[in-house]
Amino acid sequence: MATFSDSGALSYLSMLLLSILVAYCATAAADFYRDAEITWGDGRAKILDGGRMLTLSLDQQSGSGFQSKNDYLFGRFDLQLKLVPGNSAGTVTTFFLSSQGAGHDEIDFEFLGNTSGEPYTVHTNVYAQGKGDKEQRFHLWFDPTAAFHTYSIVWNPQRIIFLVDNSPIRVFNNHKSIGIPFPTSQPMRVQCSLWNADDWATQGGRVKTDWTKAPFVAYYRNFKIDGCPVGTSGGSCGFQSQTQELDAKGRNRMRWVQEKHMIYNYCADVRRFPQGTSAECKRPRF
């Protein structure tokens, strides 16, 4: 009996400590005042709720955007987004990493709006040394405008993993050994924006933005970065995902997402690449 209640008390204590730790990390993690700066939009981007929420808005005059204050060389970047509801045709909401200057590297999540009731498209791409053409697109298996969902980019020296609510949807592996550029040396910054691209975004540009519905608003919260800010003293920055790869569960989940929800894959687009798709397309996808 004594043993039972001891271990009960012990596990109660560790639960308590764990919840304090989780609460502390959650508050320490999400503060747009501390970690982000509004970059454009003339008042259309707003930090709310003591730094816990950020809204971007778009009207016929302008969209808006923000970025992380720091640059990072590798890391895990999580954001929760609630996308523009209703008729969002022509709007593009973004969450991406980008380096500065020529020959830039970039890792993209772009959310392409649609007419009411039609699915959003999640567009992903990777640029290395200025070269992209690595698009994969998905429809989501939930309504991304009804609630917040978590979108994550894991970027380590071996691979880039895109996740939606912790389900991996795409892995882009480092195939530098076979001559495919991969971002490993240019620090990147988180960039987010809401802008208009009705010349191409929705159903190939056929559906235009209905400006009578403006302003369009997207919501961001729980901005969380576990990474290596450039300029951090010492060369010993560690982050949890630095060797992250998919386990069996992750591989199964990604197979499911890609089978059921992928709508475009550059690796399968032989019409666009008549000389043959890129070499990494012949490698295993995990």
Report how far apart the first and last C-alpha atoms of the chain are (Å, whole number): 49
53, 221 Cβ separation under 8 angstroms = yes
| Among 67, 88, 202, 209, contact with ligand NAG (rule: CB under 6 A) | 202
| Among 39, 52, 62, 118, contact with ligand NAG (rule: CB under 6 A) | 118
Residues marked active site are found at: 106, 110
CB of 264 to ligand NAG, least distance (A): 9
Judged by CB, which is closer to ligand NAG: 119, or 215?
A: 119
Judged by CB, which is closer to ligand NAG: 164, or 228?
A: 164
- Decide if residue 121 touches ligand NAG (CB under 6 A): yes
CB of 65 to ligand NAG, least distance (A): 20
* Unique residue bearing structure tokens 């975004």: 201
Phi-psi region of 184 (alpha: psi -120 to 50; beta: other; left: phi over 0): alpha
Judged by CB, which is closer to ligand NAG: 38, or 122?
A: 122
CB of 92 to ligand NAG, least distance (A): 9
Judged by CB, which is closer to ligand NAG: 77, or 120?
A: 120
- Decide if residue 114 touches ligand NAG (CB under 6 A): yes
| Among 81, 112, 126, 160, contact with ligand NAG (rule: CB under 6 A) | 112
- Decide if residue 85 touches ligand NAG (CB under 6 A): no
Report the Cα 53 to chain-centroid distance in Å: 17
- Decide if residue 119 touches ligand NAG (CB under 6 A): yes
CB of 202 to ligand NAG, least distance (A): 4
CB of 123 to ligand NAG, least distance (A): 8
- Candidates 171, 191, 1; CA nearest to 79 is 191
Size of the site for ligand NAG (CB under 6 A): 9
CB of 119 to ligand NAG, least distance (A): 5
* 3-state secondary structure string across 156-222: CCCEEEEEECCEEEEEEECCHHHCCCCCCCCCEEEEEEEEECCCCCCHHHCCCCCHHHCCEEEEEEE
Judged by CB, which is closer to ligand NAG: 200, or 256?
A: 200
Binding piece for ligand NAG, criterion CB under 6 A, among 65-73, 124-132, 147-155, 201-209 = 201-209
- Decide if residue 64 touches ligand NAG (CB under 6 A): no
Judged by CB, which is closer to ligand NAG: 91, or 241?
A: 91
- Decide if residue 241 touches ligand NAG (CB under 6 A): no
- Decide if residue 203 touches ligand NAG (CB under 6 A): yes
The maximal CA–CA distance of the chain, rounded, in angstroms, is 74
Q: Which residues bind to ligand NAG, rule: CB under 6 A?
A: 112, 114, 118-119, 121, 201-203, 263
